[in-house]
Structure 1
Amino acid sequence: MRVTKMPTKSAAMSLVWDGDDLVDVVGGWRRWDSAGTETPGKVSWAYPFDQVTVSASGRFHVIYAERGTKALVLDNGQIVRELNRSFYHAADYDYPVALGRLPDGREILAHCPDQHNLLEIEELESGRRLTSGERTPVDVFHSRLTVSPDGRHLLMAGWLWHPYGVGWVFDLQQALLDPAVLDGRGIVPLYEAVDAEVAAACWLDDDRVVMAASTEEPLDGEDSEALSPGQLGVWSIAAGAWQHRTTLTHPAGTMIACGDEILTLHGHPRLIDLSTGAVKAEWPDVTVGTKSDSYGVTHLPTPVATLDRDQRRLAVAQPDHIAVIHLPTG
């Protein structure tokens, strides 16, 4: 399990793969080729952006301040427009924004431009809103938005005022017909199958979502079939049931899907077998933060890490280099 080190003149602020190259969009499009040669950035953003998300086509990027109120939509590196979110507790939880592609090919933006609890879907290129209409959202802080690979669902890992982490999945196809679908708690069978605080969540594929529960007390503790504190669960939307529920021996932190397994980034990267919760491989010499939830008065930044398209290499920013982990196969 080889780890390659690419020296950096300063820590990468963000990382995305561009073929075999790594690019720091937030750092002004700094670039490292496969040989580790660094090309300086060409842009200095006049705002403290610190995160980036990229569209399925690779054409669009959104850079944003994780605990701020500003973001930029970029089209092939050129500014298309500014985005904003409500100031309300913005310093206490991660900026809710995601890019995706609908089944009809349209690239979309999901975010909360008007209220902390009001999800909106827009055409990414034009900015045209697709979810206009009468809305009565529940009082929730949306965060960590991600669109499923097939563009049919939207995952949210945010929190309710207590604070208490929640993970909800919304049907995007229905939301485009009736935006009020985004105002509730998502797919009801999944909502009812969680009896724990959701600390992190991510898509495994078009159908399956992975949720990690914190060790906080359960909501009622009466449903033995529900996701419980300390568990890692794989939910199938088609089956409407948990495929796996297992107990982790460590906090999941940020999660990245890797085939039928999951990479957890908490302290250091680990590759987890989802059916057993066992650690298949880990890299204790590659340091990442200990962030777990999407909220908290003390801000722990999300680790700067990215998995390549073939899911064979994980790049992780370190203080003076980029660690490229060559993941085990089979």
Structure 2
Amino acid sequence: MGGTGVVRWKATGEVRSLAWDGDDLVDRVGGGRRWTSEGVEHPSRRMYAYPFDRAVVSPSGRYAVVYTERGTKALLLDGQRIVRELDRSHYHAEDFDYPLALGSLADGREVLVHCPDAHEVIEVEDVATGERLTRGERTPMDVFHSRLAVSPDGTRLLSAGWLWSPFGIARVYDLEQALTEPAVLDGEGLLPSTSWRDAEIDAACWLDGDRLVVAAGEDEDEDEDGEDGEDEPAALGPRQLGVWSPSERRWLHRSRLEMPAGTLIGRGDDVVALYAYPRLIDAATGTVLAEWPEVGLSPRVGSYGVRHVPTPVVALHPDGGRLAVAQPDGIAIITLPRPVSRDRRA
């Protein structure tokens, strides 16, 4: 199954981050260098002495954090101005992705979510003032938080990290409750560990404020025919893609995956899967709607691993119509099929 058109833009050097600004693309790690909608690159004179290799941008576009995916250092930026340095614990920092997110609360405040003091303690801070909003007594479980993401409506928080073994997991927290009861961020959350079985959680992302997509990996002990455990209908099984509703506390959909999902990006009722090359998948059925094998990506699975395979550098346009993908010689701009509403709650 082929995808729609791919346009390629040239870049003068490695593209280490991408964010849409209108129809332009910006590389924050590259000092704010920019590509216009015609694909013309405008370099930046700003350079960072530290080897940052990734960036996240706040929903408003005003704030950004540049960081090292497998390091301990980061910078919070307001436009081009450095606001402050950020750190995380050195404990196994080289083995899992920096836990970091920028998002908006339900009241519109933009927040920084990270683990500045310990790998197992999530903190939420007001980006504009630096005020820590999660002060209070904490009793954390020994979880290596990673791949943090605030839900689009600002009410919930996702962590797609791991437990010591190692074993990939996902946690979903009530973010509004955490602002008055920070210890909420220390428990199992709204996605019980009994909701999946036998396999690690490889990836997760938000579709909207009450739908979470979760991809489970393979089970090393699974029977060759792949039918092991089919008598457990309430749980997400190995090599499955599921849509979880925190409010209903159940899987709305579960379907089989033919290949690993890699990193996931939500788009309406679809997800973009980024293992080896981009694929657009119907989140409810697991059907591949389009794919672009000519746009190569790293075979990255999960948020941890002693052998570091970098996370693909991509950016989905806010209108959901275009996907920008960093390539060795520039940027591939993929025009995605138009979204079609297909939410079918079981």
Asked if TM exceeds 0.5, the reply is: yes
Question: Amino acid of the residue matched to residue 194 of structure 1?
Answer: W
Aligned to 1:179: 182
1:67-82 aligned within 5 A = 67-82=70-85
Counterpart pick for 2:215 among 199, 212, 217 = 212
Counterpart pick for 2:284 among 246, 264, 275 = 275
| Alpha-carbon offset, residue 42 of structure 1 | 2.2
| Alpha-carbon offset, residue 218 of structure 1 | 8.1
Contact 1:113–1:120 (8 Å) recurs in 2: yes
Contact 2:269–2:284 (8 Å) recurs in 1: no
- d(CA) in 2 for partners of 1:27, 1:70: 16
- d(CA) in 1 for partners of 2:26, 2:115: 27
- d(CA) in 2 for partners of 1:302, 1:111: 18
How high is the sequence identity, in percent, across the aligned residues? 57
2:67 equivalent to 1:64: yes
- Greater Cα shift, 272-281 or 133-142: 272-281
- 3-state SS of paired residue (2:144): coil
RMSD (Å) for aligned C-alpha atoms: 1.5
1:91-240 aligned within 5 A = 91-187=94-190, 190-195=192-197, 196-217=199-220, 223-240=232-249
- d(CA) in 1 for partners of 2:116, 2:134: 12
2:293 equivalent to 1:284: yes
2:262 equivalent to 1:260: no
Contact 1:197–1:218 (8 Å) recurs in 2: no
- 3-state SS of paired residue (1:268): coil
Aligned residues: 329
Unaligned runs of 5+ in 2: 223-227, 341-346
TM-score by length of 1: 0.97
Question: Amino acid of the residue matched to residue 185 of structure 1?
Answer: E
- 3-state SS of paired residue (2:318): coil
Contact 1:29–1:41 (8 Å) recurs in 2: yes
Unaligned runs of 5+ in 1: none
- d(CA) in 2 for partners of 1:311, 1:77: 27
Aligned to 1:295: 304
Contact 1:218–1:228 (8 Å) recurs in 2: no
- d(CA) in 2 for partners of 1:277, 1:36: 33
| Alpha-carbon offset, residue 172 of structure 1 | 0.7
2:44 equivalent to 1:41: yes
| Alpha-carbon offset, residue 30 of structure 1 | 1.1
TM-score by length of 2: 0.92
Deviations 1:242-295 (A, max 9, x none): 111001001000111112111100110001112221211100100110001100
1:20-31 aligned within 5 A = 20-31=23-34
- 3-state SS of paired residue (2:274): strand
- d(CA) in 2 for partners of 1:163, 1:144: 16
Counterpart pick for 2:323 among 294, 314, 319 = 314
| Alpha-carbon offset, residue 323 of structure 1 | 0.5
| Alpha-carbon offset, residue 224 of structure 1 | 2.8
